[in-house]
């Protein structure tokens, strides 16, 4: 209960359950986690086309998890998320660690059906902007949009429209922050990160919250600060992803297979 009340203070945007907690971990927590992540055997990294990842907690199948015990350096974190959020029915048992170089990202996607529909993402390293787009099944046929506007309204050519007031939005993920999303943000939207080295954070739903601590992260914003000073009338609001970003996606796979052979 206490957890849920506290969480309300961290809601951002228009959707009911998009939660952004700045400084969820300290600088020394970040170093501790990164030391463990980069101290893992090279074979623990799975290279993908546009990023690489470490999988902790076991292998996720469509039908559930073939479990492996999470190491203590990760349970410190997952236990804190579990206790402080109060949003998971039992302890988090799976962590996916993604590493992105400055020009890498992740395609818009929806998380798989094996997971309990709440996700908590801890961000370390360079900041990044995560884009949420309504699921394609909610997209209106452009013809319908034109028909609806035929009573004299202006028709915006080339602009996608979605059902029930769904709109794309973005979130700025600063290092040390925790993003939690569930409900509509989980089921009606895809989430992704663009694969370019500069991200624009203009209009992100958590701009105030994310930029409160800008002083300590000033180096990420230097180019935009200069741009503001030199152009005066135009603010670019860009972040440069100067170094790697490492994220820890913490989730619960409710169905755990105790016995490999009964899978
Ligand atoms: O790196 C991130 O912030 C997102 C990762 C993600 O969406 C996933 O692992 O499913
Ligand atoms: Fe995801």
pLDDT of residue 147: 59
The complex's ipTM? 0.99
What three-state secondary structure class fits 107?
Answer: strand
Taking each helix axis from N to C terminus, what angle separates 72-85 and 27-39, rounded to the nearest 10 degrees? 140
The two three-digit tokens of residue 248, written as one number: 């820890």
The two three-digit tokens of residue 113, written as one number: 């059906």
What is the block-wise mean pLDDT of the chain (263 residues), using blocks of 10 residues?
74 95 96 98 96 97 91 98 96 98 96 95 97 93 64 62 90 97 94 96 94 68 47 66 96 88 54
Distance, CA of 42 to CA of 217 (rounded, Å): 30
Find out whether 123 and 175 touch, Cβ atoms under 8 Å: yes
54 lines ligand 1 (CB under 6 A): no
The two three-digit tokens of residue 196, written as one number: 């370019």
Q: Which of 113, 182, 248, 249 to mutate to test the pocket of ligand 1 (most atoms within 8 A of CB)?
A: 249
pLDDT of residue 128: 97
pLDDT of residue 141: 79
Q: Measuring from atom 2 of ligand 1, which residue has the nearest CA?
A: 247
The two three-digit tokens of residue 66, written as one number: 């073939």
Distance, CA of 194 to CA of 60 (rounded, Å): 26
Question: How far from 207 is each of 80, 83, 119, 200, CA to CA, in Å?
Answer: 25, 27, 21, 11
Written as one string, the DSSP assignment of 85-110 is H---SS---EEEEEEE-TT--EEEE-
Residue 118's φ and ψ, nearest 5 degrees, are -135, 130
pLDDT of residue 232: 38
121 lines ligand 1 (CB under 6 A): yes
Q: Which of 247, 248, 252 to mutate to test the pocket of ligand 1 (most atoms within 8 A of CB)?
A: 247
Distance, CA of 132 to CA of 17 (rounded, Å): 13
pLDDT of residue 213: 64
């Amino acid at each position: 209960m206490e957890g849920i009340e506290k969480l309300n203070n961290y809601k951002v945007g228009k959707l009911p359950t998009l939660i952004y907690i700045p400084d969820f971990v300290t600088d020394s927590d970040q170093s501790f986690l990164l030391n463990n992540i980069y101290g893992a055997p090279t074979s623990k990294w799975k290279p993908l086309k546009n990023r690489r990842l470490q999988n902790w907690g076991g292998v996720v199948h469509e039908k559930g998890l073939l479990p492996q015990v999470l190491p203590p350096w990760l349970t410190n974190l997952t236990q804190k998320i579990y206790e402080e959020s109060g949003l998971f029915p039992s302890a988090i048992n799976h962590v996916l660690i993604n590493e992105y170089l400055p020009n890498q990202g992740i395609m818009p996607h929806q998380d798989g059906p094996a997971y309990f529909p709440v996700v908590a993402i801890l961000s370390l390293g360079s900041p990044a902007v995560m884009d949420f787009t309504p699921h394609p099944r909610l997209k209106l046929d452009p013809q319908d949009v034109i028909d609806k506007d035929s009573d004299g309204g202006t028709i915006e050519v080339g602009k996608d429209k979605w059902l029930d007031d769904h709109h794309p939005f973005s979130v700025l993920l600063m290092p040390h922050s925790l993003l939690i999303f569930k409900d509509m943000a989980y089921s009606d939207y895809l989430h992704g990160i663009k694969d370019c080295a500069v991200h624009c954070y203009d209009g992100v739903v958590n701009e105030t919250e994310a930029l409160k601590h800008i002083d300590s992260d000033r180096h990420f914003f230097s180019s935009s600060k200069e741009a503001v000073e030199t152009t005066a009338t135009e603010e670019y609001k860009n972040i440069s992803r100067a170094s790697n970003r490492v994220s820890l996606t913490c989730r619960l796979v409710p169905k755990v297979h105790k016995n490999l052979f009964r899978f």
